[in-house]
Amino acid sequence: MSLSLRDRLFVAQAALGRSVIAINPEAVREAASKDSPLLMVGLKDTGSIPQWLVDSLQASRHHLILTIDRMSDLGRSIDTDLVNPLTYRPMTDSTSGGAINVLKGINDCCVGTDGGGSVLAPALAINLYAIMAKGVGLYAGSGQSTDGMDFSADLGFIGRSFDAVQNLLAFSLGSSPTQDLRSLSISIDDSQSFDMSDLQVFVPAPETAYAPDGTDVHMRCMAELEKLGEGTPSVQEIVFDDIYDRGSTVRQLRELWEADPDAIAMDVEGPIDVLAATKRYPAAFQARRR
Instruction: Encode pLDDT of 190-199 as tens digits.
Output: 555 666 677 8
Q: How buried is residue 212: exposed, middle or buried, by Cβ count under 10 Å (0-12/13-18/19+)?
A: middle
pLDDT over threshold 60, residue 119: yes
At residue 192, the pLDDT reads: 59
The pLDDT confidence band at residue 284, using thresholds 50, 70 and 90, is: very low
Tens of pLDDT, residue by residue over 98-111, are 999 999 999 999 99
For residue 37, the tally of other CB atoms under 10 A from its CB is 9
Which one has a higher pLDDT value, 281 or 234?
234
Q: What is the mean pLDDT of residues 259-279?
A: 69
Residue 127 has pLDDT above 90, yes or no: yes
Q: Name the pLDDT band for 184 (thresholds 50, 70, 90).
A: confident
For residue 237, give the amino acid letter.
E
Average of per-residue pLDDT across 152-158: 87
Q: Hey, what domains does the chain have and what are their CATH numbers? A: 5-182 (3.90.1300.10), 200-289 (no CATH)
How much is the pLDDT for 147? Answer: 62
Following CA atoms 108, 113, 117, 120 in sequence, which dihedral angle do they give, to the nearest 10 degrees? 20
Q: How far is CA 213 from CA 87, 220, 221, 240, 275, in A?
A: 17, 11, 14, 20, 11
